[in-house]
Amino acid sequence: MCLKGFEPVSPDQWSNTEWSQGCRHTVPLDCDPGEGFNKYTNLKLPDSQGSIYNQTMTLEECRNMCKSNCSCTAYANSNISGTGSGCLLWFGGLIDIRTFAENGDTLYIRMSASQLDSIETSNRSGAWRRVRVIVPIAFVVLAILVSVCIFYRYNRKKQQPQVTPRNELRHDPENRSGDEDLELPLFGLSTLHRATNNFSTNNKLGEGGFGPVYKGVLEDGQEIAVKRLAKTSTQGLHEFKNEVILISKLQHRNLVKLLGCCIEEAEKMLIYEYMSNKGLDSFIFDKTQSVLLDWNARYSIIIRIARGLLYLHQDSRLRIIHRDLKVSNILLDTDMNPKISDFGMARIFGGNQIEANTNKVVGTYGYMAPEYAGEGLFSIKSDVYSFGVIVLEIVCGVKNKGYIHKEDYNNLIGHAWRLHNEDQSLQLVAKCLGESMNVSQVLRSIHVGLLCVQRYPEDRPTMTSTIRMLENEGPLPSPKEPGFYVGKSKHDTPFSSSYETSSNNELSISMLNGR
């Protein structure tokens, strides 16, 4: 179906489930000063080809910029982390919009004044009708729920069994290996208080969605890292159990080692080996620290991350998709050996399972594959995409997310793609590498990185093929266009501070229902 305020371009074809011509405004745009924008929520944003990205604009500035140009048909806040900055503007047709039941993005589409009035009137009348129906029902349902909860809590207190720490993990519904012994040491809460100096702020290493992480020293002198579940984090509880169950069964030199856990009183903690050099991001994105990683060190890190990922996908007793692979989740030990960490978002795949989907997309934008970010589909090829982004970031020394090239408006992936096609890939290399650079290895790493970030998962290599291509000197296939390739189209016109007449005022929308 078309969005509110739109109608099929060809009703006859639409009734025959032929949607290729899309939808159009019920009232065409004519560059009238009264035109405005209607807010649509829970959408997949349109294809970004032909859009323009500005990293620093607020949402209000984004709206004003779009309204001042008659060719601008829609805008959105591009910063999905919620800090309020970043602007995407579309010009012409909006292609491949999809609706989701929840967790979608917000898009503001240009409308005529009469359309906006009609939509507002319809929304007000519909809301009032819903209120008159819902309020009486809500009171009845609330009364029933309160009664049931009181009865349930009263009976549960009388019958609640004793739960031990191991049983709490073993009988977790998310634990697919629930009948197996976890064989994981349990640390006492008092031991961890002593090790971390009562969780002193001086011992704090950082904080993520799970909760804070502290450095500790056990009585025998062993250094540890303690991830402490934030008491207010309900999502963190699931991640905690997921991480215990998964990592307790994994052993590889390029995966961070889980030493044990603590489940005592209201506390839930994971205890890891301490990684003295912290995260890879603290080196490659820091001007001072980046000089400590020459090309040989970076190339070795790339290869070892690939081997750790291959172990997860193929060689371990479980087949695991990490789903949040990023530079900050790669930790470095004293010998600069990289180890993949943070398995709170990971998922186990069955032996013959190649793909799954989820209604709740988790992970980090900038590293997420297009099919996962847009449709919730994930597979081993989703991790391959994330690995490709990491490779490009290690070579270039800049982050993909937030990067925008001053000349062609490309993100890091798009910029690497353009330079590769122009045989200018060496322009990507971080300046700090200097004479340490092995040109052949650098070019091969960039090429393989671009193969890993191709738009469609079936085009991306497996980690077995990726390692083979990185370590050998044979010919490489040509990469296809990458996913999330954001650039300035040659057909784009510059912004104008005044209204301009445009002959392209018919807005075409192709829309599919989300999974």
Q: Which residues are catalytic?
A: 324
Q: Which of 456, 478, 481 is nearest to 469 (CA)?
A: 478
CA distances from 150 to 53, 137, 138, 143 (A): 53, 20, 18, 11
Token representation of residue 307: 């081997």
Give the whole-angstrom CA distance, residue 347 versus residue 344.
9
HSE-up of residue 502 (Cα within 13 Å, Cβ side):
23
Angle 275-280-283 from CA coordinates, rounded to 5° = 110
Backbone angles phi, psi at 88, to 5 degrees: -115, 130
HSE-up of residue 47 (Cα within 13 Å, Cβ side):
15
Long-range contacts of 5-13 (CB under 8 A, 24+ apart): 5/38, 5/109, 5/111, 5/115, 5/118, 5/119, 6/507, 6/509, 9/508
SS3 457: helix
Q: Which of 38, 29, 85 is nearest to 60 (CA)?
A: 85
Is the CB of residue 386 less than 8 Å from the CB of residue 309?
no
SS3 213: strand
Is the CB of residue 479 less than 8 Å from the CB of residue 385?
no
Where do the H-state alpha helices sit in 209-318?
234-247, 281-284, 295-310
Q: Which residues contact 504 (CB under 8 A, 6 or more apart)?
A: 71, 92
Max Cα–Cα distance, the chain, nearest Å = 78
Is the CB of residue 81 less than 8 Å from the CB of residue 101?
no
Strand partners, 67: none
Residue type, 428: L
Q: Which residues contact 313 (CB under 8 A, 6 or more apart)?
A: 319, 320, 321, 380, 383, 462, 463
Give the whole-angstrom CA distance, residue 374 versus residue 47.
11
